[in-house]
Amino acid sequence: MDKYYRRRVIEVGHKIVDLGYDSTLELEKLLNDSEQEIFSVTQQRIRSDTDQNSEIAMSAFNQLDEENPIYPTGIEELDKLFTGFEPGTLTLLAARSSMGKSAISLYLALQQMLLHELPVVIFSLEMTKHQMEYRLWSLMSRMDCYQHLDLVPINGHRLRQHRAKLSSLTEKEMESIAKIVKVAVDLPLYMNDNRGINVAGIASEARQVKAREGKLGLVIVDYLQMMASDNGGNRSYELGDVGRGLYQLAGELDVPVMALSQVNRGVEARQDKRPMMSDLSQSGILETVADNIIFAYRDEYYNPGTSQPGILELILAKARHGNTGMAEVLFDKSCGLIRSLKEFA
């Protein structure tokens, strides 16, 4: 077996040399393909992907009780529809601007870490790592599980005022932040704010985190339209390529991937502004590759006088292995906290 793997290393070395001489390859693709070749040896993934059903049936039966189940999202109303995040699947979270996509994804990330003790990687192409961290502090300061720390709410606006020297944080606010930071440093959370990253870069970073941690609970990409692509053609087709790439990544690493996406401006012209499948950019490809598609909608954004302030609708428009439907929850956009309506019934 030792000689076999030595031969494999030599073969891979030759392949990487050939890749290096291929001037048609983009640098990121060259590096990613080279890393995959090496990874195939180190992870002993030299096998056929085609199995006979006698093996599949027993494997599926054994999987029922394995420590790699479907992980509930932590939002009960949503879990009733599609159960949760399943390894190897791609979920799209789509909405118009200002609906709270980033805040929702951060809440879901924190739930995976708290409920299931799973590492999460967030690729933030819109906000910096520090901006994401401040949002995390604000969310944590409002969650029930941290109230034993005697915290005061941390407001993102107050943090910005403090940094701009317009209004200093109070002593109590600073004490609360210090307590939150002490807890936050132990969260298995990784963030990357490289605004020029593409699918190959995300795959490389995610692979390294999984190798370090042993497993991954969720990979979040915020958001699709900001991502670079190796395809220099039509932007709509590029988005399709990015979607396919993330779908393949979910399968390769056997982790759930959630990609955030904008929806087209067409919703603004309709009386009912709830997004639909056709509102997705390059909707045909994204609709095909995504296992789950969730649209976020807050009526109070368009109708400030609505009779349902604070209501967030999570519209599950596609669930490959679940049920479509709509989950209504309470959403505090100032901190990203999501609560069940049952708590206030």
**What are the pLDDT digits (tens) for 268-279?**
788 888 998 888
Strand, helix or coil for residue 71: strand
Tokens 């440093």 correspond to: 185
DSSP for residue 75: -
Query: Is the same domain home to 42 and 72?
Result: no
Q: Give the model confidence (pLDDT) of 232-243 as tens digits.
A: 555 666 777 888
Residue 63 belongs to some domain of the structure: no
Same domain? 119 vs 241: yes
The answer to whether the bond into 134 is cis (omega within 30° of 0) is no
Does 110 share its domain with 212?
yes
Question: pLDDT per residue over 292-304, tens digit each?
Answer: 999 999 999 888 8
Report the SS3 class of residue 284.
helix
Co-location of 42 and 158 in the same domain: no
Contacts of 246 (CB under 8 A, 6+ apart): 90, 199, 202, 221, 257, 259, 289
Q: Bigger pLDDT: 233 or 133? A: 133
Percent of the chain past pLDDT 70, that is, above it, reads 90
Does residue 147 carry a pLDDT above 80?
A: yes
> 3-state class of 292 per DSSP?
strand
Inside any domain, residue 113: yes
* Same domain membership, residue 31 and residue 110: no
Distances (CA, A) of 258 to 5, 15, 122, 230: 35, 32, 10, 21
| C-alpha triplet 37, 39, 44: angle, nearest 5° | 105
Tell me 214's DSSP state: S
Same domain, 284 and 140: yes
More confident residue, 304 or 123: 123
Average pLDDT of span 42-70: 67
Q: How many CB atoms lie within 10 A of CB 59?
A: 11
Q: Specify burial of residue 232 (Cβ count, 10 A radius: 0-12, 13-18, 19+).
A: exposed
58 is a domain residue: no
Give the mean pLDDT of the chain: 86
SS3 50: coil
What pLDDT is recorded for position 296? Answer: 96
Binned at pLDDT 50, 70 and 90, residue 49 comes out as: low
CB-neighbour burial class of residue 256 (10 A; exposed 0-12, middle 13-18, buried 19+) = buried
pLDDT of residue 46: 47
Instruction: Please tell me the total number of residues recorded for the chain in this structure.
Output: 345
Query: Using CA atoms, how far apart are residues 60 and 182, in angstroms rounded to an integer?
Result: 41
Q: Residue 192: what pLDDT? A: 93
The winner for highest mean pLDDT among 17-26, 59-68, 118-127, 218-227 is 118-127
| Average pLDDT value for residue range 84-105 | 93
pLDDT of 257 over the 60 cut: yes
Sign of torsion, CA 34 36 37 43? positive
Same domain, 92 and 152: yes
Q: Are residues 87 and 190 in the same domain?
A: yes
What is the pLDDT averaged over residues 66-79?
A: 84
- Indicate the number of domains in the chain: 2
61 in a domain, yes or no? no
Q: What are phi and psi of 256, to 5 degrees?
A: -75, 135
- Pair 214, 128 in one domain: yes
Q: Residue 277 corresponds to which tokens in the numbers above?
A: 């499948």
- Predicted model pTM: 0.80
Establish if 205 belongs to a structural domain: yes
Q: How far apart are CA 96 and CA 90, in angstroms?
A: 20
Is the domain of 39 the same as that of 171?
A: no
What pLDDT score does 122 carry? Answer: 95
Residue 62 lies in a domain: no
Give the CATH number for residue 335: 3.40.50.300
| 38 and 186 within one domain | no
Please state, in angstroms and rounded to a whole number, the distance separating the CA atoms of residues 126 and 89.
Answer: 23
Structure tokens at 219: 């990979």
Task: Indicate if the pLDDT at residue 315 is higher than 90.
Answer: yes
- Examine residue 146 and state whether it is found in any structural domain, yes or no: yes
Given a cut of 80, whether residue 345 has pLDDT beyond it is no
Domain holding 5, by residue range, is 1-46
Distances 209 to 22, 102, 128, 217, 243 between C-alpha atoms, Å: 29, 21, 19, 11, 21
Same domain, 259 and 118: yes
Q: Copy the structure tokens of residue 113.
A: 């870490």
Statement: residue 73 has pLDDT above 70: yes
In a domain, 144, yes or no: yes
Closest C-alpha to 279, from 99, 86, 78, 80:
99
Q: What is the pLDDT of residue 33?
A: 80
What is the CB-side half-sphere exposure of residue 241 using CA atoms within 13 A?
Answer: 15
Give Rg (Cα) of the chain: 22
